[in-house]
Structure 1
């Protein structure tokens, strides 16, 4: 066990050092080790929270399934790949010990199993590797964005590397950890392809990398990608068309929304769960189930929500408020986790008092801003409807929270704070 721990620490430091050495001109480079240390500690914190506070939950179930799947991998790699559809009786694979045979959960558990090979079934070491992967995604996107918007470097650092909810829930052995890291890395690669100078081989590698990341994310939580893909597609098409045939901003917007509608329609065809009829029924069923199983003070209540499209539209403001503003600190009673998140929300929105005129100027940046807002709007609304539990939503919204915090903090006049500190 000691040898395994030492080996993993050496490998973690080696990979981290390699990433650090590649940061030739990053304004964040002096803070690399600090940011990474915070993320790794957050990963340990997630493991401690579930082991000693919750004493149950996704982390335990998925890690245990990863342990079982690791043994199947060692016994028969082909069965591991096909599991649970191997042609063998499930009881032969500890069926009673598998908490969830959902295809997405099993796929994620297989990823955990691969890391368990390296860590020797050590929950904390596996959490560290997941935290590092997530950090790589956030680090890459932050460095791409600071190149495009150098005046927002403080906002980027705060939103991506210091905001507690972002750091904590994007670390450790959680699906959100990988998803948020993959999403950031994918967006960073796409922006590099469009806005940076690239050789043909670099473009091919980045396209291949982003495609693989999207596929992995789709297998883990497909609905995140069903929202992200139409936005990436729309921005990519409009940017490339405008580069060859310059368009007025109005025409760019028109083409963007046309591509977005096409992307949404294609996404609805990609999975039966996204068809409008089934989607609304599924949301209503999930909502009814949540009402029965969730405490009232932890529930998002929608007004006259009957599963119809009209009632869905009417409740979008409630869904957005819940995703972007809750939990409210004065409604959190004695739940210390919700109180901390409530205080964090107050701090984020308090920064709006120090806002300056928008720094995203120009048609190209306006289109990028629109893409960011659409991503936040649709994902925030979707998560509130499908997961109307405030406690769970705090974790799930890490996929859009850094972007939302960045939009707010990027408008803050940090010179004001610098003058205060100088005094």
Structure 2
């Protein structure tokens, strides 16, 4: 960050807040409007805080790789020659040529397609912010907020009596505010995931089959596919569970339900399997027969490779991975626990881990409290809800995926943020409400 940030960023911050105030009524109702500007402001604070932490605590990191050693050079190209700058936007990652080499040679992640997607997006915002890091970060935060607000709005429409707790669960979880706001892949994939969920529920929960919803679902799936394919894989599986329960629950006759259940299982789960294979076709690492090996390589690389060098001695292990699917399944419970509830307080090695441990402890205590207060009969009944099952299945699947393939708390704190809103919403939705208590009486 430079002195330019201190001049330009306050201007953009003011413009964003004015726009939010003017547009709030278009995207909120009487129950949600009070959360709109505070939630957006929290995202902006998170984006700026992220930059400060990376600059003054880590002394560098991914966010500066994307901007200082990434989009900044596309911005420089535009200032020198707009034609060359435009060519950088359309140039294939890793495809060096003499005309743009003076700039691409300085982009650290030029060979990585997913990273270049973030770098090009940041460069587009740089054109509006004069290449100012923190101002560009505000644009990332605004996009992340848009997705979280969209998914909050659709959940609130389905469960209006849970508005306050849904707001806290989706908009104000500290780790999500911090790691999901700045110039990182995680901000974009979190927003895209939320927009996909919004479109899924708009289409199938409220029967709004508009072209806009379909386009949102497809486009955001493409965004995630281009950046972090494993998020899309988890979403597809959770969506298949959701669709199966959604349609089987509409059949009231038990005999008919038994007859069509195999058809629906074949349709949604079989279709989901084909979708997974199709998505993984361009990246063999995520093919079903390669997932175990990919998880092993990733976990050990983060634990003992670059993660060990940049993770502040925050590595962990759940057991031995041998590259087989069986070893992953064996570690599944431990993977879910480490993502949702660790690091434990006694595992803390640095200030950021302490904050993560406090949040994890809060989620552990909250989980125990909710399960204690929710009768087993009520819990089983609520798990028949397609929306609740979607939240739980996605949260558990994603928690398992990142837990067994990360092996470093510093990295896990960032990777796990897609889990937190959906797991939080699950807890909110299964907790007995006043209407549940009245029905019981």
Q: Distance in 1 between matches of 2:245 and 2:299?
A: 37
Cα shift at 1:169: 1.3
Q: Which among 202, 209, 222 is matched to residue 215 of structure 1?
A: 222
Q: Distance in 2 between matches of 1:99 and 1:384?
A: 28
Q: TM-score, normalised by structure 2?
A: 0.83
Q: Distance in 1 between matches of 2:322 and 2:229?
A: 25
SS in 1 for 2:118: helix
Kept in 1: contact 2:93–2:112 (CA 8 A): no
SS in 2 for 1:276: coil
Alignment pair present for 1:290 and 2:294: no
Cα shift at 1:6: 6.6
Q: Which among 318, 322, 346 is matched to residue 334 of structure 2?
A: 318
Q: Distance in 2 between matches of 1:50 and 1:186?
A: 30
Contiguous gaps of at least 5 residues in structure 2: 435-441
Q: 1:318 to 1:369 in 2, by over 3 A?
A: same
Kept in 1: contact 2:9–2:134 (CA 8 A): no
How do residues 59-98 of structure 1 correspond to structure 2 at under 5 angstroms? 59-64=63-68, 65-72=70-77, 74-76=82-84, 77-84=86-93, 88-89=97-98, 92-98=101-107
Cα shift at 1:49: 0.8
Q: Distance in 2 between matches of 1:367 and 1:51?
A: 43
Kept in 1: contact 2:8–2:132 (CA 8 A): no
| Structural RMSD (CA) | 3.0
Alignment pair present for 1:232 and 2:245: no
Kept in 1: contact 2:43–2:178 (CA 8 A): yes
Compare 305-314 and 182-191 and name the one that shifted more: 305-314
Q: 1:360 to 1:315 in 2, by over 3 A?
A: closer
Kept in 2: contact 1:242–1:252 (CA 8 A): no
Deviations 1:24-53 (A, max 9, x none): 524121222222211211111111111111
SS in 2 for 1:94: helix
SS in 2 for 1:327: coil
Compare 172-181 and 226-235 and name the one that shifted more: 226-235
- 1:273 maps to 285
- 1:8 maps to 12
Kept in 1: contact 2:298–2:405 (CA 8 A): yes
Compare 105-114 and 278-287 and name the one that shifted more: 278-287
Deviations 1:347-399 (A, max 9, x none): 22223454333778968962222222221122111112222211110111101
Q: Distance in 1 between matches of 2:382 and 2:365?
A: 29
Cα shift at 1:123: 0.8
Compare 134-143 and 245-254 and name the one that shifted more: 245-254
Contiguous gaps of at least 5 residues in structure 1: 416-423
Q: Distance in 2 between matches of 1:321 and 1:289?
A: 21
Q: Which among 349, 352, 367 is matched to residue 364 of structure 2?
A: 349
Cα shift at 1:242: 6.6
Q: 1:341 to 1:288 in 2, by over 3 A?
A: closer
Residue correspondences, number:
410
Alignment pair present for 1:309 and 2:325: yes
